[in-house]
Structure 1
Amino acid sequence: MKKLMLLGGLRYLLPVIEEAHKLGVYVITADYLPNNIAHKYSDEYCNVSIIEKDAVLKAAQELQIDGILSHAVDPGVVSAAYVAEKMGLPFQCSYEAARILQDKSLFRKFLTEHGFNCPKAKGYNNIEDALKDTAYFNWPVIVKPVDSAGSKGVTKVENKENLRNAIETALSSSLSKHFIIEDFLDKVGAQSSADIFTVDGKLVYPAYSDQLFDKNAANPYTPAIEIWPASMEQKFQDDLTAQLQRLFTLLGVKSGIYNVESRVCSDGKAYIMEVSPRGGGNRIAELQDMATGQDLIVNEIKKALGMPLDNITVPEYDGVWCNYILHSSKEGTFVSIDINPEFKRKYVRDVGLIVSPSDHIVPFTGANTSLGTLFLRFDTREEMTNALSHDRDWLKINVE
């Protein structure tokens, strides 16, 4: 029986565990939080910090694993790539490529050096150095941790006097205590966040979405709605696919899933914003599998274990799909969500609630403060737009 190690213990791993078990795979989940939910469903739990790559390697060698993934778990990606390389196991890319992709500062540097569209950006580990550098940027700017996901620690800064606070916010969400400042790119239309798949370095499954935000949320830069297929003009999608293929060729990648964020900006150019060798959070791969009839999660497991992959092709969508991120605008005690029964019957394909009645909840500042997800399917974009613009008519989140 093949052994698969999954780094992390979040709910996002449950479908991976389920599909792995269907393939007859023994699943080991690993992190330093034994009460995380995924450990209840795996075959074995390994207590190790997933950011300590040598500790993960030692555990993986002792357990004699056949494959490793950090699906939808950003902090474990570099360790997973390191372990795979040291043990000769399949992974999306080399350890060095994973380091570049996972560090926003290194990634911006790589993009700039190779002539990709890229905002002016600079990485720092010292607040004072950054405060002396304000003339380098075209304001406003975005301040981010170099190593966080889910919009944690991200702030748009309009005025230089607010820069210090934004940096402190970024540092509070950074494991490495490094941050990046970059020019704010004024986007046209919606940003895209989607999972893609390569086979032997070739991008065979390019995907794009519309990522929308709740301007009234505690953090207005946290994705609140994701829609497939994207409304982005096809010429920009084709341009981004070509840019991604060039990036993957330069990095010498192999086979596997990647989460990609991209956008078209007011300068008429398409930009790759982030590429991570893992499945995205917010159950993106699950929704895309449901919407396209392909199996990204199954094939990611097969890839990790060196098993033959299915025929993965350019996605075609069965209707218009929406990942609606459930969230609260206020702090309090969660009571329930109420969905209009007729709306639920017609449009809701999955309810993924991750909180329980009496749980304490906080305002929406990042993916880690969501209440869960709704997968919605519509026949037309117009039907979906109408439903989303009247969401208070069919959805009520009850908080005391």
Structure 2
Amino acid sequence: MAINLGWEQEPLLDLLGSLNLEIYGVHANDGYYKGIRYHDLLVADPRDLPRLLLFAQKVRPDAVISDQCDYSQFAQAVIASRLGLPGPSLRDAQIGNSKLLQRTLGWQAGLACPCFTLCLDAQDVLRFGREHGYPLIIKPVDNRGSFGVNRVDRESDVAPAFYDALIHSHSRGVLAETFIQGRHLTVDGYVFQGLGPRTLAVATKTKLPQKQSIIDGEITYPGELPPALYDKASAALERTAAALGFGFGFLHGEFILTDAGEVYLTEIANRGGGVFTSEIIVPNVSGIDILSVYVNDCLGTPLLPISGDPNHPGRTPTVMQLFAFSDLQEGIVKKISGIDLLEAREDVLRLKMLIRRGDVVRGIASGADRHGVIIMTAPEPRELKRRLSEALAMLQVTIEKRDAS
């Protein structure tokens, strides 16, 4: 039973489709990936746990799997627990889906985390700001993709940021936390059965200029860090995963490296990183066939052969560039060119455009609003930068400002 069948899951679904398996799919709408055959398919929101449980009890799967989606991973844990299948525990899913639990358990374990508080109303945020100063980060307790996350620099900005976080929080909980100045890192890994958590890739990243620079723009592997700091970031993921007790599957951590060399936990997910991170980038960087490891773990049997050593992952240069072609509040896509040329390049691991001619594009308010992504690789970092610059020059997107009338 595979939960969430979108474009981000295509590599995993292709792998499952290549095996002699009956695949029962679940997707939120009719836009599911149609490159493989499904024995049966349920169109349902992954948060609709009653419907998913009824479907699972009807088809009685031998395994349940998901990737790159917090809601799907939670449903996977519920079904695995209810039916006695291999998978993430409910405890893992609860922690991975709650920034409040992560903060609370992280502080208790002595992890470096921002100061934080749960805010029941905007007055709680104001009190926290007067105690700790500005800027602050205001965020939902449980959502994804930067929905409802805002940086607040002054008291006058608190109310709109609080309500934005509130309406995007499924539990209606809102967190305020101190802003940590530093370099943003993504650290990816996996909980290997018999080994425990292992870091497989560390990346440094830059943010898009939109929405006060909280949305990822360019993510570079291996991270452009001195060896000691690279190792420190790697150890931070393993220490965090162990402290929170994660016992199964992917790890995707967000950290901030300060000028003083401290590594602060922003958040951690017990699922693969989105936009092909777990399914294309981490295998390419590390040289480890992590998708096969994950499928084997979910099946509870070593069906697929595994390559690579989790104790000695590689560091193949790889970059993800996320697109935001216009700062205009609203515009119409008039022309896109260069896609065929880019897709023909061997160093382009994946190109995915999320806009097309005629689309209306608006301001970037969350990660879901980005216009596309390109993932590239090269033998060494300097050559990768050159190739990325060359590739971006080949992609031409014309957006015409929309008439306000």
Fold shared, TM-score > 0.5 on shorter chain: yes
Q: Which amino acid aligns with 1:375?
A: I
Cα distance in 1 for partners of 2:118, 2:35 equals 39
Aligned partner of 2:319 in structure 1 is 322
* Deviating more after overlay: 283-292 vs 36-45: 36-45
Cα distance in 1 for partners of 2:292, 2:367 equals 24
The answer as to 2:290 corresponding to 1:296 is yes
Cα distance in 2 for partners of 1:175, 1:10 equals 22
Which residues in structure 2 correspond to 1:196-215 (within 5 Å)?
Answer: 196-200=189-193, 202-215=196-209
Deviation at 1:389, TM superposition (A): 6.3
Structure 1 gaps of 5+ residues are none
Q: Secondary structure of the equivalent of 2:300?
A: coil
The answer as to 2:83 corresponding to 1:87 is yes
1:328 and 1:363 in contact (8 A); partners too: no
Aligned partner of 1:15 in structure 2 is 11
Per-residue CA distance 1:5-29 (angstroms, 9 max, x = gap) = 22x3421122211111112233223
Deviation at 1:159, TM superposition (A): 0.6
Q: Check 1:366–1:315 CA distance in 2 against 1; reply closer, same or farther (3 A cut).
A: farther
Per-residue CA distance 1:212-264 (angstroms, 9 max, x = gap) = 1122x356211111111111333233334434333333444333212111221
Structure 2 gaps of 5+ residues are 401-405
1:328 and 1:364 in contact (8 A); partners too: no
Cα distance in 1 for partners of 2:142, 2:395 equals 34
Cα distance in 2 for partners of 1:341, 1:49 equals 37
Deviation at 1:392, TM superposition (A): 6.2
1:194 and 1:280 in contact (8 A); partners too: no
User: What percentage of aligned pairs have identical amino acids?
Assistant: 21
Aligned partner of 2:60 in structure 1 is 64
Q: Which amino acid aligns with 1:69?
A: I
1:5 and 1:65 in contact (8 A); partners too: no
Deviation at 1:40, TM superposition (A): 6.8
Deviation at 1:372, TM superposition (A): 2.2
Aligned partner of 1:371 in structure 2 is 371
TM-score w.r.t. the length of structure 1 is 0.87
* Deviating more after overlay: 386-395 vs 324-333: 386-395
Per-residue CA distance 1:256-286 (angstroms, 9 max, x = gap) = 2121112211343112222111111111121
Q: Check 1:326–1:110 CA distance in 2 against 1; reply closer, same or farther (3 A cut).
A: same
Q: Which amino acid aligns with 2:164?
A: T
Match of residue 228, structure 2, among 217, 232, 235: 235
Aligned CA RMSD, in angstroms, stands at 2.7
Cα distance in 2 for partners of 1:204, 1:73 equals 21
Which residues in structure 2 correspond to 1:1-400 (within 5 Å)?
Answer: 4-6=1-3, 8-33=4-29, 35-38=30-33, 41=36, 43=38, 44-92=40-88, 94-187=89-182, 189=183, 191-200=184-193, 202-215=196-209, 217-218=210-211, 220-285=213-278, 286-308=280-302, 310=306, 312-313=309-310, 314-318=312-316, 320-329=317-326, 330=328, 331-334=330-333, 335-338=335-338, 345=345, 347-386=347-386, 393-400=393-400
TM-score w.r.t. the length of structure 2 is 0.86
Cα distance in 2 for partners of 1:31, 1:390 equals 37
Deviation at 1:80, TM superposition (A): 1.9
The number of aligned residues is 390
Per-residue CA distance 1:112-138 (angstroms, 9 max, x = gap) = 011111110112343343334433334
Cα distance in 2 for partners of 1:391, 1:32 equals 34
Q: Secondary structure of the equivalent of 1:208?
A: strand
Cα distance in 2 for partners of 1:242, 1:229 equals 15
Q: Check 1:246–1:359 CA distance in 2 against 1; reply closer, same or farther (3 A cut).
A: same
Q: Which amino acid aligns with 1:336?
A: I
Cα distance in 2 for partners of 1:176, 1:276 equals 18
